Structure 1
């Protein structure tokens, strides 16, 4: 399996936990890392983690110099957010497909069916965003040039048809689109990909990208029974003491098994401390 990640230093530990959860169900994994801000020491540490804990191989690919003048926000501050779009152009031409996963994900079952599916002449496969029909997303779709009935997918889980993507879409056209839509982009790379792939995306079952936000609509038993990919969209994340859901259990179960005992203890100390402060 070819796995693609794109992270900055603040998501290094969650990415490790995500990859550990993936390799519980999959062997022979090649991890392609698109990066710019990670240090050599952080990359070496990640490589050792993948070897020792995941039995996986790391292939770092520096993307420094790309997306240096793209729209960002106080929440999304670094251009790594856009790097998944570079996969067709920076990864080896020998690769025919790659699975991109966000760092805020836990794998809860086999991805073989999703990974090995036929693209049916589409450039990628993804899952509809859980909130595609709310008013602000419907308005956003219109601004992006999508019709109301067009799908709006979540870019946190994407299977790229690398050969067809790079054949049909030029990188300079992507950059031109970002510049054209820069005042419109709300979810940044996700908006760009939806605009690019509106007629060339294969839509898949929600079990392959189960978004857990808002928390009050999620059941731990339902998630564990139905979801192959558990995606902690929104804020706060399950490693934050401010997390107000029940699904942090699944994240920390994998984190503990991956060796992050100190992080787990620190998390609960802060969480319990904040809860005591709330009582006062």
Structure 2
């Protein structure tokens, strides 16, 4: 059984189904238990998601998770960053005690290849395994250190793909401490949950290769020009496990205006999940020409 974790609001259920489909179809021999941490997704939406997940024989466990915060906690910095962005860090205190590890994934991701080796990898004493965009963060690392006041850190990890060692986390950290860190540091946060992740768990995160487990479409666009032999569709098909559509440009929002080549992987899966909807959109555009 592979444990997967998602943390989102109702607006991200649409791409979540695309992600889930991409995972299930790439792993026909595996079974999954999928945990959803949320702060108020309507019951009819979670029931629809349950039917979608359990039709393939997998397990779905939605967990209402807002109780860690007080009504006075204004943790949502902007309309783009809702309270759900933090909830995945509370998995050690919400998931069953017998769940020893879980793979957290942002909903704006597509699975291209086998995730099992990553899921089963050793923690080697760390609480997490994640990826670090060093090509990008090395220039802003001094600013991050100053902003987050964690001067001993040389790294800044992405929070979109995170393997969690729940056994260790239950021993070394508490939910109250995470909440307090969010309250105290809110004025300094730019990428809220990612900032807190790097602040609270500094030096307890093992690094994996972002080019395999957290490929960024914008960066791929540049790399395929500079290194066409190493960064092309054949290499993506062979080696990349997760494509992460991070940032403000989302393929399901921009459609034909989405400018990055790796959008094709999202659209290929989306057509399988929402065939009727995509057909209607195409027909509508045809009539408007």
| Runs of 4+ that moved beyond 4 A | 266-274
Matched, 1:133 2:134: no
Q: CA deviation at 1:176?
A: 1.7
Corresponding residue for residue 230 of structure 1: 243
Tell me the equivalent position of 2:59: 57
Segments of structure 2 that go 5 or more residues without pairing to the other structure are: 225-231
**CA RMSD across the alignment:** 2.4
Quote the Cα distance in structure 2 between the aligned partners of 1:143 and 1:271: 47
Q: Distance in 2 between matches of 1:237 and 1:271?
A: 20
- Residues 248-267 of structure 1: matches in 2 within 5 Å? 248-258=263-273, 260-265=274-279
Deviation at residue 197 of structure 1 after TM alignment: 1.4
> Cα 1:255–1:218, aligned 2, differ >3 Å: closer, same or farther?
farther
- Greater shift after overlay, 92-101 or 23-32? 23-32
Name structure 1 gaps, 5 residues minimum: none
Shift in Å, 1:272? 8.3
From 20, 33, 37, the equivalent of 1:34 is 37
Task: Work out the CA distance in 2 between the residues paired with 1:201 and 1:149.
Answer: 11
CA distance in 2 between counterparts of 1:149 and 1:132 reads 12
Q: What residue number does 1:198 align with?
A: 202
TM-score (norm 1): 0.89
Deviations 1:191-226 (A, max 9, x none): 001111111111111211112235632545143343
Structure ranking higher in helix proportion = 2
C-alpha distance in 2, partners of 1:118/1:165? 15
Once the two structures are TM-superposed, the CA of residue 134 in structure 1 deviates from its matched residue by 3.5
How far apart, in 1, do the equivalents of 2:92 and 2:137 lie?
26
Distance 1:2 1:39 in 2: 23
TM (norm. structure 2) is: 0.86
Match of 2:222 in 1: 217
Contact 1:211-1:231 at 8 Å conserved across structures: yes
Q: Deviations over 1:241-260 (max 9, x none)?
A: 242222222112112223x0
Of residues 262-271 and 126-135 in structure 1, the stretch that sits farther from structure 2 once superposed is 262-271
- 1:111–1:215 CA distance, 2 compared to 1 (3 A): closer
1:25 to partner: Cα distance: 2.4
Instruction: Give the stretch that moved more between structures: 261-270 or 227-236.
Output: 261-270
Q: Is this contact kept in 2: 1:142–1:148, CA < 8 A?
A: no
Structure-1 separation of matches of 2:287 and 2:219: 24
Aligned to 2:121: 117
